[in-house]
Chains A and B, each alone.
Chain A
């Protein structure tokens, strides 16, 4: 595995120091659809590059670096209140977890599905964050809250999308993470424990974010319009498709 090739893949499947590129780019891009596309495309590019490069064993050290980098970003995400940066950190943390599967010669198209499984909920989260920005000026946890009573559909969509992002069961993330842990257990069990801890930190970060966005007295919320039925239907339908796809996800269940 030539180092230059590795570095190029490491940009797209972000290893720790190189993740600065993705995060900086993600922070710069303003409008929501553009960010969603970046989220969807970024890991796929990495996998394509990995496919092109001559096949070779991925060094153990790289896998360790990937898992530890993922743990670092998950840990940093628990203190974030800004939804956009949170999405960026969770994306970095999730894609880095593809390295262990790469190291164990998992089929590339399975990994492509895993990457998609991680990216789609995050893309939806970017759209939800945009909806929040249009209504409250910013998607920032702990500032307004209380949307459950005032804007039930928006709060419902936010909750479901955040749960999908933190790999709650029956969403693809869940099966991907189980597959990653199963592959890493035999050789380096402590890596599997790190992946588990990352997953725990995702849940903790996701719940803190949710509490800041939907929980609260709600009187302070200015009278703004709730999501339309169509928009809410879109989110629910996408998530339902995600679950349907996840049920037939190869790899774990193959």
Chain B
């Protein structure tokens, strides 16, 4: 068993070393070696998952004396399978896609190192290994995104990513320090056991230790999963090759969700950290989805859609449904990875439907269809709002009754619909077909998505957090008063309807007087949206100011 777990993490590193040493001689063979190694890793990971599924007890294997512990538990095996699976697909895709790029062998070495580091992070059983893997991912991602060594712009944008990731490492190191200081050991299972027995034992500056550590871990997760104010790096990673974007959006960006799940035993004993996490996730989901709708190129719109989805995942953690967050990050990973790998096909779909409305003669003579009467937007908005709620309620009767009581679950499933809507926006263009057919289709696929969500998330819950009291503890930790909960649901409903109003405005845009006044307000909002709330400009100016200050400092302190 130990050999299996260690092999899962070791094989990619061995393959990286092999490809680096014999890369020049193997030429295209290097890719085959790398693909074979990742395939082997996937098989091993699947084997460990199979063992975990049929009830093998969680275990840990220490490589070095104090640290280097690899865990074997449901979370690590599941994530190992996901990461090695996606890495396998990206490897096979890159064999031909990157064939013409200089640094072909170097690309596969970096891919293998990244896969190995991710697998180590997922299986990290102690704080030092976790910190090392967490930090190394940021550095490897910088070199993957900056693969085109000729382009200075690619490296400039990649350094945004690296700086944000390093900003995210800082709270994690502080949390590790606090835990080591309080409990004298680096090993996570020991720490979680100690916290379990007596959560209020230690305090930092008057605040109980679990609260502080949970807050710091949440901060680290925010930086890694591009939450609002720390998100500007994600849409600007498109200078990297497409396979890197696919691997990143499917495997790396959602490490924040994994980290919060890993520290679940700490979050259980917190009172007001999770609602804060929920708020941040909510803001990010709304802003990410709205900015996605204003982007003019395919990759940046996918980037912002990922930001929205990561916000949604953090919201799921915020309401206590940790297992659903894991399921969501897996399904979003596959969904986004596919869209990225097929991003070149936009021109093909544009050739079929380039947005030019059908010619009157055509609709009359060939299709004999009545003039496309203007759709009642208000009715359509109401339908796409009401219908999913009905489905949500129906979905509940499929699932056991008590599951329904947790408020968080309701919010969750209500937001399950957002993924459905996100899916609809991303895959079909609303204005292409006629109205009734679209309603039938959307209802049909919402039902599939929501029922799928409910059933599978329940299965994940049973697998990842078997003991029910722990789950209830999580929900308790995330519990916010009933009043604030309803206010939140109302707020989100209003924002979704507002989304429809924006779409209505951007479609109309004709110059009536009432329109002009609204138009001015709407163009201010658009100006804000098109400059992405001025955050990117703010951060660039901040960086430039720091460099100028450093230069001036160097001039004044010339001698010191």
Query: Is B a genuine binding partner of A?
Result: yes
Give residues in A with beta carbon < 8 Å to B: 16-17, 19-20, 23-24, 72, 75-80, 145-146, 148-149, 155, 159, 163, 168-170, 174-175, 178, 181-182, 185-186, 189, 192-193, 196-197, 199-200, 203-204, 207-208, 211, 214-218, 247-248, 252-254
Task: Decide: B150 and A181 in contact? CB cutoff 8 A.
Answer: no
Task: Decide: B149 and A148 in contact? CB cutoff 8 A.
Answer: yes
Task: Decide: B149 and A20 in contact? CB cutoff 8 A.
Answer: no
Which residues of chain B come closer than 8 Å to A186, judged between CB atoms?
181
- Pick from B270-278, B298-306, B482-490, B545-553 the stretch touching chain A: B545-553
Known contacts A72-B553, A181-B174, A181-B177; can you find 17 more A-B pairs with CB under 8 A? A16-B560, A76-B554, A79-B551, A79-B553, A148-B149, A168-B135, A168-B136, A182-B176, A182-B177, A185-B178, A196-B169, A196-B170, A196-B174, A207-B142, A216-B150, A217-B150, A253-B186
Q: Return the chain A residue nearest B178 by Cβ.
A: A185
Which residues of chain A come closer than 8 Å to B240, judged between CB atoms?
none
Task: Decide: A148 and B103 in contact? CB cutoff 8 A.
Answer: yes
Which residues of chain B come closer than 8 Å to A146, judged between CB atoms?
149-150
A207 to B128, CA, bound (A): 24
Task: Decide: B136 and A169 in contact? CB cutoff 8 A.
Answer: yes
A212 to B54, CA, bound (A): 54
Task: Decide: A169 and B132 in contact? CB cutoff 8 A.
Answer: yes
A196 to B444, CA, bound (A): 52
Task: Decide: B174 and A189 in contact? CB cutoff 8 A.
Answer: yes
Q: Which of A19, A170, A175, A254 sits near B560, CB closer than 8 Å?
A: A19
> B368 near A: Cβ within 8 Å?
no
CB proximity of A101 to chain B, nearest CB, Å: 13
- Pick from B158-166, B355-363, B509-517 the stretch touching chain A: B158-166
Task: Decide: A253 and B131 in contact? CB cutoff 8 A.
Answer: no
Task: Decide: A247 and B173 in contact? CB cutoff 8 A.
Answer: no
Task: Decide: A218 and B150 in contact? CB cutoff 8 A.
Answer: yes
Q: Which of B128, B166, B174 sits near A252, CB closer than 8 Å?
A: B128
Of A16, A170, A182, A189, chain B has the most CB atoms within 10 Å of the CB of A182
> B422 near A: Cβ within 8 Å?
no
Which 3 A-B pairs give the minimum distances between C-beta atoms?
A79-B550, A148-B149, A169-B132
Q: Return the chain B residue nearest A247 by Cβ.
A: B64
Task: Decide: A174 and B135 in contact? CB cutoff 8 A.
Answer: yes
CB proximity of A111 to chain B, nearest CB, Å: 18
Q: Which of B173, B548, B560 sits near A23, CB closer than 8 Å?
A: B560
CB proximity of A82 to chain B, nearest CB, Å: 10
Q: Which of B65, B186, B550 sits near A75, CB closer than 8 Å?
A: B550
> B67 near A: Cβ within 8 Å?
yes
Task: Decide: B557 and A76 in contact? CB cutoff 8 A.
Answer: yes
CB proximity of B63 to chain A, nearest CB, Å: 9
CB proximity of B228 to chain A, nearest CB, Å: 21
> B205 near A: Cβ within 8 Å?
yes
Task: Decide: B102 and A149 in contact? CB cutoff 8 A.
Answer: yes
CB proximity of A113 to chain B, nearest CB, Å: 16
> B436 near A: Cβ within 8 Å?
no
Task: Decide: B554 and A79 in contact? CB cutoff 8 A.
Answer: yes
A238 to B550, CA, bound (A): 33
Which residues of chain A come closer than 8 Å to B66, judged between CB atoms?
253-254
Which residues of chain B come closer than 8 Å to A181, judged between CB atoms?
173-174, 177
Of B67, B151, B155, B546, chain A has the most CB atoms within 10 Å of the CB of B155
CB proximity of B371 to chain A, nearest CB, Å: 57
Task: Decide: B180 and A182 in contact? CB cutoff 8 A.
Answer: yes
- The 0/1 profile, CB within 8 Å of A marked 1, for residues 357-390 of chain B is 0000000000000000000000000000000000
Of A148, A169, A192, chain B has the most CB atoms within 10 Å of the CB of A169
Give residues in B with beta carbon < 8 Å to A: 64-67, 102-103, 128, 131-133, 135-136, 139, 142-143, 146, 149-152, 155-156, 159, 162-163, 166-167, 169-170, 173-174, 176-178, 180-181, 186, 204-205, 546-551, 553-554, 557, 559-560
Task: Decide: B181 and A149 in contact? CB cutoff 8 A.
Answer: no
With A169-B131, A186-B181, A199-B166 in contact, do A24 and B152 touch (Cβ < 8 Å)? no
Task: Decide: B163 and A204 in contact? CB cutoff 8 A.
Answer: yes
27 A-B pairs within 8 Å (CB atoms) are namely A16-B560, A17-B560, A72-B553, A75-B549, A75-B550, A76-B554, A78-B550, A79-B550, A80-B554, A169-B131, A170-B136, A178-B131, A186-B181, A189-B205, A192-B174, A193-B174, A196-B170, A199-B166, A204-B166, A214-B149, A215-B149, A215-B152, A216-B149, A216-B150, A216-B152, A247-B64, A253-B65
A82 to B204, CA, bound (A): 43
A23 to B186, CA, bound (A): 38
Task: Decide: A75 and B174 in contact? CB cutoff 8 A.
Answer: no
Which residues of chain B come closer than 8 Å to A182, judged between CB atoms?
176-177, 180-181
CB proximity of B143 to chain A, nearest CB, Å: 8
Which residues of chain B come closer than 8 Å to A203, judged between CB atoms?
162-163, 166
With A149-B149, A253-B128 in contact, do A75 and B553 touch (Cβ < 8 Å)? yes
A17 to B553, CA, bound (A): 14
A175 to B66, CA, bound (A): 13
Q: Return the chain B residue nearest A17 by Cβ.
A: B560
Q: Which of B132, B139, B181, B559 sits near A163, CB closer than 8 Å?
A: B139
Task: Decide: A208 and B159 in contact? CB cutoff 8 A.
Answer: yes
With A20-B559, A169-B136, A186-B181 in contact, do A178 and B173 touch (Cβ < 8 Å)? yes
Which residues of chain B come closer than 8 Å to A75, judged between CB atoms?
546, 549-550, 553
Q: Return the chain B residue nearest A75 by Cβ.
A: B550
A186 to B131, CA, bound (A): 19
CB proximity of B142 to chain A, nearest CB, Å: 7
Which residues of chain A come closer than 8 Å to B554, judged between CB atoms?
76, 79-80
A59 to B187, CA, bound (A): 33
Which residues of chain A come closer than 8 Å to B139, judged between CB atoms?
163, 168-169
With A76-B554, A174-B132 in contact, do A215 and B174 touch (Cβ < 8 Å)? no
Q: Return the chain B residue nearest A205 by Cβ.
A: B550
A19 to B560, CA, bound (A): 7
